[in-house]
Structure 1
Amino acid sequence: NGTVVMHGENEIYSNIIDPPSVAAVIQAVRGQAALDAGLVLCGRRTAYVERADERFANAVAPYYRAVQVVDDLAQVEDEIIKMAVNVGTGAVQAMAAALQVPLQVVISGSHWVDAMNHGVHKGLALAALQDKLGISADETAVFGDYPNDLEMIKAATYSFAMANAHPVVAEAANFTAPSNLEHGVLQVLGAYLDGRTRL
């Protein structure tokens, strides 16, 4: 969500959350057992979780390449760049409201709420990458499906909303890609790289 940008193995940009704010989110999530809430601490080294049950593990697996299960998230020694809360069906609004913390709280999916420093978003991350690579909005393609993608969508001429995107993303994007359930990003990029279509 714009908290860290890598180019190959090199870090271009990161935005670290202060430890008291991390502790506040951990405490807030622990108080939401009724929402089936589980927290992922996204560190610079890896992602950390306390829960290891099947439902939560299956929810986390598609989004994190490496996950370390720990006994106590409050004891993690890493710089935290984002915190992601997974909740049960229909609970994202309640979870977002429950996170009364000094951070930016955004709904990032039908079961996910993210917390990060204020002013951080994917558009900021994209701008850092564009600057590093010396490319313009006219040389940039992005794909999004949820409102946390809006700033990124606005920073690229070739902005694609997935076919199953949130309505505000579909309205903001310049183009539409097939659903992410149909690997729409790969379809669009594959057609472009194979010369079957032009952006």
Structure 2
Amino acid sequence: MDFSKIKLVATDMDGTLLDPQHNLNEEFYTVYQALKERGILFAAASGRQYYNLVNLFKPIKDEIIFLAENGSFVVYQGEELSVQALDLAETKRLLKKAREIEGSYMVLCGKKSAYVDNTAPEFMAQVELYYDKVEVVDDLLQVEDDQFLKIAICELKGVEDSSNLHFREEREHLQITVSGKIWLDICDKLANKGRGMEVVQERFNITPEETMVFGDYLNDLKMIQKAHYSFAMENAHPDIKEAARYRAKSNSQNGVIEVLQQLVSSEKVA
């Protein structure tokens, strides 16, 4: 495998670059520095909030590209490359429909902040992993002074056979994505990591053949399709493994770091 033409590396976070405890491997910054020296751009592509990602990559926050909220908010060096927000009326309709799902919790993800109106400890423990700016409000339906990038529905028992099916009708005009075992993300139709990758590739004149991506779950599918060098983690969802051209070791085995080390050392791998 010849990595000599790679100009852009994009990776998902949870289940991919981060270990099972949601930590960034200490070897990452050494590898990142080598990527930078080779002129290779790095993008963090995640369902996580922009402010959370900025804090996660604080030492290099002014150097890398952020595809936050599943690609609905793309930022580079403080410049907003893309903002794909939901219509306000549609946002309120979706919130009302989500309330019908027993045992579900909601995060209304705005550009300024994330908003919650339920502070159950088991829910907030999950929210705190992915959102650094969170505002507790009396009623999500009353929040209007923001651009809403995503509605994240959390079901601790799992969403694939519950919330995911509840929003079947909306798939024709919205982006409905299972982004983790307990998370369903609802975004504008054009808001996804694949579209975010297109924005970045167009901005920097980079082709899919010059792009390497890593992912593990269904919200990575459209991003996987935008790169020739597409890697599914060993721990990935079966649909991601089927879509990707290549395989990386699991996130518990630092699979992304291993491939990037091969990239920066120009090694050939089978």
Please, what TM-score do these two structures have when normalized by structure 1?
0.87
Give distance in 2, aligned partners of 1:105 and 1:57.
22
Give distance in 2, aligned partners of 1:183 and 1:46.
31
2:183 corresponding residue in structure 1: 112
2:4 corresponding residue in structure 1: none
The answer as to whether partners of 2:159 and 2:178 remain within 8 angstroms in 1 is no
Over residues 45-74 of structure 1, what are the superposed CA-to-partner deviations in whole Å (9 max), with x where a residue is unaligned? 121112222211122222223222222211
Q: 1:68 to 1:97 in 2, by over 3 A?
A: same
Give distance in 1, aligned partners of 2:248 and 2:229.
11
Match of 2:244 among 158, 170, 173: 173
Matched, 1:88 2:156: yes
1:30 corresponding residue in structure 2: 99
Q: Give the drift of 1:105.
A: 1.8
Identify which range, 96-105 or 122-131, moves more after superposition.
96-105
Q: Give the drift of 1:118.
A: 1.9
1:5-24 superposed matches below 5 A: 5-24=74-93
Q: Give the drift of 1:153.
A: 0.5
Q: 1:26 to 1:133 in 2, by over 3 A?
A: same
Q: Give the drift of 1:29.
A: 1.9
Give distance in 2, aligned partners of 1:181 and 1:25.
36
1:128 corresponding residue in structure 2: 199
Identify which range, 92-101 or 131-140, moves more after superposition.
92-101
1:48-63 superposed matches below 5 A: 48-63=115-130
Please, what TM-score do these two structures have when normalized by structure 2?
0.66
1:140 corresponding residue in structure 2: 211
Q: 3-state DSSP class of the match of 2:201? A: helix
The answer as to whether partners of 1:43 and 1:82 remain within 8 angstroms in 2 is yes
The answer as to whether partners of 1:3 and 1:116 remain within 8 angstroms in 2 is yes
| Number of residue pairs the alignment of both structures matches | 196
Match of 1:97 among 136, 144, 165: 165
Unaligned residue ranges in structure 1 (runs of 5+): none
1:45 corresponding residue in structure 2: 112
Letter in 2 for 1:93: D
Q: Which has the higher contact order (CA 8 A, sep 6+)?
A: 2
Give distance in 2, aligned partners of 1:189 and 1:66.
31
Q: 3-state DSSP class of the match of 1:130? A: helix
Letter in 1 for 2:243: A
Letter in 2 for 1:146: Y
Q: 3-state DSSP class of the match of 1:93? A: coil
2:63 corresponding residue in structure 1: none
Letter in 2 for 1:21: E
The answer as to whether partners of 2:248 and 2:255 remain within 8 angstroms in 1 is yes
Identify which range, 76-85 or 60-69, moves more after superposition.
60-69
Give distance in 2, aligned partners of 1:145 and 1:179.
9
Over residues 60-105 of structure 1, what are the superposed CA-to-partner deviations in whole Å (9 max), with x where a residue is unaligned? 2222232222222112221101111010224432212223556332
Give distance in 1, aligned partners of 2:258 and 2:115.
32
Match of 2:225 among 144, 154, 157: 154
Over the aligned positions, Cα root-mean-square deviation in angstroms equals: 2.1
Give distance in 2, aligned partners of 1:79 and 1:188.
37
